[in-house]
Amino acid sequence: MADETRKPAPYTEADLSLIKRLIPHRYPFLLIDKVRDIVPNEGAVGIKNVTCNEPHFQGHFPARPIMPGVTIVEAMAQTSAVVVGISMDLIDKQMLTYFMGIDNCKFRRMVVPGDVLELHCKVMRGGGKIWKFHGEAKVDGQLAASADFTAMMDLSPNV
């Protein structure tokens, strides 16, 4: 006999449609295409397909396009915000996420159009308004960037 009070299985993957229901970012600042391997309160892997059509490549740099480091860190943060949204059941709740700190940030490899950026994000501390994460951005298994970052979740915005 099935337990009628049992909660549905948590999301283990978020496509673009679900991502937009969890975080407020939109073009040109929505920097993730998919999130997979979601484990609530633990982490996930975001996917960013880097293309030459992105607006930052017009100026960074026209002759040799390189994804800016700040956008790589932001993509890690957006992946982490999806983890928070799934962990706290915040689908369609209009949560905003604000950076509070970025520590130990390092860039090891250029990210260029054609790359598939994997954003491995791990929850270090969470469960309330303040969450801390460790993120690693990888291309073809090679570390491109890493950072520890802290964010505050605002659950009462009018966006």
What is the pTM assigned to this prediction? 0.93
Q: Which of 25, 56, 60, 120 is catalytic?
A: 60
Annotated catalytic residue 120: no
| pLDDT tens by residue, 88-122 | 999 999 899 999 999 999 999 999 999 999 999 99
| pLDDT tens by residue, 1-34 | 454 454 555 799 999 999 999 999 999 999 999 9
Residue environment code for 91-127, b if the CB has 16+ CB neighbours within 10 A, otherwise e: eeeebbbeeeebeebebeeebeeebebbbbbbbeebe
Q: Which domains does the chain carry? A: 16-154 (3.10.129.10)
